[in-house]
Structure 1
Amino acid sequence: MTKEYNKVFTIAGSDPSGGAGIQADIKTISALGCYAASAITSLTIQNTKGVSKSYIIDSVIVKEQIDAVMEDLKPDVLKIGMLCNKEIVEVVADSIRRYRPKLVVVDTVMISTSGRRLLSEEGCQTMIKELIPLASIITPNIPEANVLGNSIEEICSLGCPNVLIKGGHQNGDILTDIFIENGKQEEIKNIKVETINTHGTGCTLSSAIAAYLAKGLEMRDSVFAAESYLQRAISSGADIKTGEGHGPVNFFFK
């Protein structure tokens, strides 16, 4: 029997400092024992201190990247991050309809932790109408969840069967994520780690979910395993200095 890697294909923006975006996705997927392929949607100029510029890749080039990977590698799981604009969202949604990957993890990257818009208003509406109904799970943070709907019920009505609302914006010693699987709601509580090294945590969590799904875990098990991986990655990297700002998590803590 021919052996194959468990393959995860990530479509997202590039972070040259290596803490978020495509770079964080590839590190996370690799750390969890899967093979990572990627298509880049934007080239950002950023480091641990922040983003200064972003250059959006033409949607035709994004499509060509996706076609090249999907037609050859046939990945088990598709993970989607920053898509930037309406045209790229449409390209990705069309690719999902054409290639029909088994599982699709959508990190609904719309608004950064600092409040910076990462997806155009048109792009947000297109994501809600065309992409989210094709997803297996979406992972909005609290500001993004507020864009998607006024209640958990409204977010669940968008057509995705599984939702993980990330609670990293909360105050207090305990951070609570909310996981909804086919209408059933659970809370996932994590002890807040006192550190500034939280750059790319959303990318890391969604990529970890994708990796565990690619390895054959069920959705709930993948979410809980990914939460545990991220918590340990944050804890083990809490005191490591990388740059002058918000450093990354420790992807390879094992």
Structure 2
Amino acid sequence: MQTNKTSLPPQSADTQRQRIPIAMTIAGSDSGGGAGIQADLKTFSARGVYGASTITALTAQNTCSVSAIHEVAPEFVTQQLVAVLSDLKVDAIKIGMLASIPIIEAIGVVLDQYPDIPVVLDPVMVAKSGDSLLHSDAIEALRDILFPRATLITPNIPEAAMLLGDVEASSEAQMEAQARALSRFGCSAVLLKGGHLASSDSTDLLLQDGAIHRFCYPRIPTSNTHGTGCTLSSAITAEIAKGLPLHTAIAIAEQYIHEAIACADQLDVGHGHGPVHHFHALWS
């Protein structure tokens, strides 16, 4: 019997060693897979970048609630960061759930040694289920230690209010005022997400170099929005890792999350707020 074999063309050394952009996420784990580290790594993969991680907390959660949180020792957070950054050439970093002051301080010490790596900071404070993910006494440390290191921060309306000790914005004008107030803590740019506004469209405001830019999409009627914030910030991080300028990276990421939400109902995951569809462009 004759076996037909398909021979592959020889690969050059350059092809074999082609470098893929690398992004790292520093965040908590979501055992349900819809948010946190899991959503970040799915997003990195969907956007075509290699993903590394540093886990700050383990959560026992699903689409309905967070039943337990186990914080990682700050010393071990440091060890994870050093292990990755001493070996991999990380092109961009996303920061999510940080839980406590000691973890924030540990991350700040390490990142100070890598000032050239862009950082996208998503100030995760409350889960979709309403469970708290950041100690209340850690808000000031988050602002003082990590905001000045951030290329971009991506709070939603409730998070912006908590960070400022203010009422939640109920209009785009109030969103703009709060974005400008947040920028005074030293971050390079602010993307204030407007998904919590009562409007037919969902509008995010980017404050960059003193100017306001709007990203507006029709609101999608679905309850499957678990992990939207994690996914958007990770998508931005992935595009920055590819070398794109901030505004372009955000525009691409906004389109990606809009499509991921639009396709979320194709999935049947859990009994609560299901996840967005990270691989909507890849799965049939």
TM-score when scaled to structure 1? 0.96
**CA separation in 2, counterparts of 1:8 and 1:200?**
18
User: Is the Cα contact below 8 Å between 1:45 and 1:51 reproduced in 2?
Assistant: yes
Residues 1:117 and 2:132 aligned together: yes
The residue matched to 1:216 in structure 2 has which SS? coil
Task: Give 1:209 shift.
Answer: 0.2
**CA separation in 1, counterparts of 2:85 and 2:154?**
23
Q: Counterparts in 2 of 1:214-225, with a 5 A limit?
A: 214-225=241-252
Call closer, same or farther: CA 1:178–1:132 in 2, change over 3 Å: same
Correspondence for 2:7: none
Task: Give 1:141 shift.
Answer: 0.7
User: Is the Cα contact below 8 Å between 1:75 and 1:101 reproduced in 2?
Assistant: no
Residues 1:42 and 2:57 aligned together: yes
Q: Equivalent of 1:179, from 182, 206, 220?
A: 206
User: Is the Cα contact below 8 Å between 1:195 and 1:239 reproduced in 2?
Assistant: no
Deviations 1:82-139 (A, max 9, x none): 0000000011111110123420010011233454332112321111011000000000
Q: Counterparts in 2 of 1:79-158, with a 5 A limit?
A: 79-149=94-164, 150=166, 151-158=178-185
Task: Give 1:240 shift.
Answer: 2.5
**CA separation in 1, counterparts of 2:217 and 2:108?**
33
Q: Percent identity?
A: 43
Larger Rg: 2
Correspondence for 2:173: none
**CA separation in 2, counterparts of 1:180 and 1:129?**
19
User: For this pair of structures, how many residues does the alignment match?
Assistant: 254
User: Is the Cα contact below 8 Å between 2:59 and 2:68 reproduced in 1?
Assistant: yes
User: Is the Cα contact below 8 Å between 2:66 and 2:129 reproduced in 1?
Assistant: no
Residues 1:191 and 2:238 aligned together: no
TM-score when scaled to structure 2? 0.86
Residues 1:74 and 2:89 aligned together: yes
The residue matched to 1:38 in structure 2 has which SS? strand
**CA separation in 2, counterparts of 1:94 and 1:67?**
11
Residues 1:241 and 2:256 aligned together: no
User: Is the Cα contact below 8 Å between 1:9 and 1:37 reproduced in 2?
Assistant: yes
Residues 1:230 and 2:245 aligned together: no
Task: Give 1:237 shift.
Answer: 1.7
**CA separation in 1, counterparts of 2:262 and 2:89?**
35
Unaligned 5+ runs, structure 1: none
Q: Equivalent of 2:193, from 128, 149, 166?
A: 166
Amino acid aligned to 1:27: K
User: Is the Cα contact below 8 Å between 2:180 and 2:207 reproduced in 1?
Assistant: no
User: Is the Cα contact below 8 Å between 1:21 and 1:81 reproduced in 2?
Assistant: yes
The residue matched to 1:19 in structure 2 has which SS? coil
The residue matched to 1:188 in structure 2 has which SS? strand
The residue matched to 1:83 in structure 2 has which SS? coil
